[in-house]
Amino acid sequence: MVMVMPAPVQAVDITVVGSWTEFIDQADLTGGAGTNLTGTYTSMTNVNIVAITNTTGRTDNWRVDIKRVDTTWDGSLRLSARRTSSGSGTGRITGGTSYLQLTTSDQTLFSGRGDRFDVSIQLRVTGASLTLSPNQYITTVQYTVIDMP
């Protein structure tokens, strides 16, 4: 038996810290009884802190894709994400400063090169209304860093 194993590939790492829970009750009606929910809910500007590490250096290009992985999410709730800071580090970062509506398929949120730390992400939900039944609507935001040539 002859086995030829490839040389190990250095993989860029991504670390995501933080989660977001939003409670909605009658205080969220726009004007009390007879009115609907405000409909738009925005997280803190740094609800997620993202770090891109283990690059080969400041010329190592990468991109970050993002999507929803639903547990009990409702399709009428539109979840969006945007980058609110560039963080720090030797590399660079571009894109993602406008809200991107998440789907269940990967879309590129931002890209860059080299290591970046403390990149802030803000999330937003729109489309909430009284047509939704009381429930916990749960999804997972999945960030994928892809090392580029």
Partner 1 sequence: MNRVIRPILIVLVLSSFPAGLFAAEIGTSAVTFNLQQISEISVTGSPTLTISSAVAGQQPQPVTDATSRYAISTNGTNTRITASIDREMPVHTSLEIRLAAPGSGTSLGYVTLSPTPADVVTGISHVASGSRTVTYRFSATTAAEVFSASYTVTFTLTD
**Which 109-138 residues touch partner 1, going by CB under 8 A?**
123, 125, 128, 130-138
Q: Using the minimum distance from each CB to partner 1, give the nearer residue, 29 or 85.
A: 29
Encoding tokens for residue 5?
């194993």
The first and second tokens of residue 133, run together, are 């039944």
Shortest Å, Cβ 79 to partner 1: 6
Beta bridge partners of 125: 41, 79
Closest by CA position to 45, among listed 67, 68, 18, 70: 18
List, in sequence order, every residue forming a beta bridge with 45; answer none if it has no partner.
none
Nearest CB to partner 1, comparing residues 58 and 148: 148
Task: Answer whether 96's CB lies under 8 Å from 61's CB.
Answer: no
Site string for partner 1, 8-37 (x = CB under 8 A): -xxxxxxxx-xxxxxxxxx--x--xxxxxx
Q: Are 55 and 48 in contact (CB under 8 A)?
A: no
Beta bridge partners of 112: 62, 93
Residue with smaller CB distance to partner 1, 16 or 82:
16
**How many other CB atoms sit within 10 Å of the CB of residue 109?**
23
Nearer to partner 1, 58 or 138 (CB): 138
Tell me the site size for partner 1, rule CB under 8 A: 61
Binding footprint of partner 1 on the chain (CB under 8 A): 1-6, 9-16, 18-26, 29, 32-37, 41, 47-48, 50, 69, 73, 77, 79, 123, 125, 128, 130-149
